[in-house]
């Protein structure tokens, strides 16, 4: 139950059609879909607002926030004709744990062959491949939401207890406005900043 969410938003609760990809992976795990509550952009609180409400790719955004490269852990995957779907966790490379849980559908036929091969190798996040291969694209967020973490998210995000999580549904388009990918991205609780003499005075809103 999303008790931490204002009652004024209760009418927006449910299983929106744009969450079908997330529902699909939950069904595979024998679980009912998580309850998602759509939010207006200005309802997403800091620091999650800065991490979600923008038109940038998530991988470089997380790398800039955590000041390190982000690694990919693919939990499950399936190739459906020219669509490649997978459930993933993105991780800090310093051993600090997960920084995102996500599900993504990638249109391999809309990618250059080298990039499509990199995707299937499953060694790097999709956003990293787009940038390293210099593929023109745009990020176009479609929805923002909050959800109460369930047992699946608690396990994958290494959460000690259930809590309110924030996320978005995003689509990535190429230079011709063809769909490259659709993705649902859910963030774990963001830890407080650790300040030192070099970055004293910095804040999470930086």
Give me the pLDDT at residue 203, please.
34
Q: Into how many domains does the chain fold? A: 1
Position 154 in a domain: yes
Give me the pLDDT at residue 113, please.
96
Q: Is the peptide bond before 47 cis (omega within 30 degrees of 0)?
A: yes
**Which stretches of the chain drop beneath a pLDDT of 50?**
1-12, 195-206
Q: Provide the CB-side half-sphere exposure for 61 (13 A, CA).
A: 20
Name the residue among 112, 90, 107, 84 with its Cα closest to residue 167. 90
Distance (Å, whole) CA 86 – CA 105: 7
Give me the pLDDT at residue 80, please.
87
Give me the pLDDT at residue 185, please.
98
Position 10 in a domain: no
Counting every residue, how long is the chain? 206
Give me the pLDDT at residue 193, please.
58
pTM of the model: 0.86
CATH number at residue 130: 3.40.1410.10
Position 40 in a domain: no
Position 90 in a domain: yes
At 99, list the tokens.
């920084």
DSSP label at residue 75: E
Position 146 in a domain: yes
Q: What angle do CA 55, 114, 169 make, to 5 degrees?
A: 25
Query: Do residues 185 and 168 lie in contact, with contact meaning Cβ atoms separated by under 8 Å?
Result: yes
* H helices present in 133-176, as ranges: 151-156
Give me the pLDDT at residue 204, please.
36
Position 148 in a domain: yes
Q: Give the domain extent around 122.
A: 56-97+112-190
């Amino acid at each position: 139950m999303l008790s931490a969410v204002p009652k004024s938003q209760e009418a927006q609760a449910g299983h929106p059609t744009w969450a079908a990809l997330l529902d699909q992976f939950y069904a595979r795990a024998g679980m009912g879909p998580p309850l998602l509550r759509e939010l207006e952009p200005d309802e997403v609180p800091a620091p999650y607002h800065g991490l979600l409400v923008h038109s940038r790719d998530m991988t470089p955004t997380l790398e800039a926030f955590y000041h390190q490269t982000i690694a990919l852990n693919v939990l499950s995957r399936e190739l459906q004709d020219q669509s490649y779907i997978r459930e993933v966790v993105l991780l800090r490379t310093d051993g600090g744990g997960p920084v995102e849980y996500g599900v993504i559908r990638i249109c391999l036929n809309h990618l250059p062959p080298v990039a499509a091969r990199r995707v299937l190798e499953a060694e790097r996040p999709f956003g990293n491949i787009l940038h390293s291969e210099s593929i023109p694209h745009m990020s176009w967020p479609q929805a923002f939401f909050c959800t109460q973490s369930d047992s699946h998210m608690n396990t994958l995000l290494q959460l000690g207890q259930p809590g309110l999580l924030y996320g978005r549904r995003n689509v990535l388009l190429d230079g011709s406005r063809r769909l490259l990918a659709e993705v649902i991205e859910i963030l774990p609780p963001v830890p407080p900043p650790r300040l030192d003499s070099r970055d004293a005075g910095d804040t999470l809103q930086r």
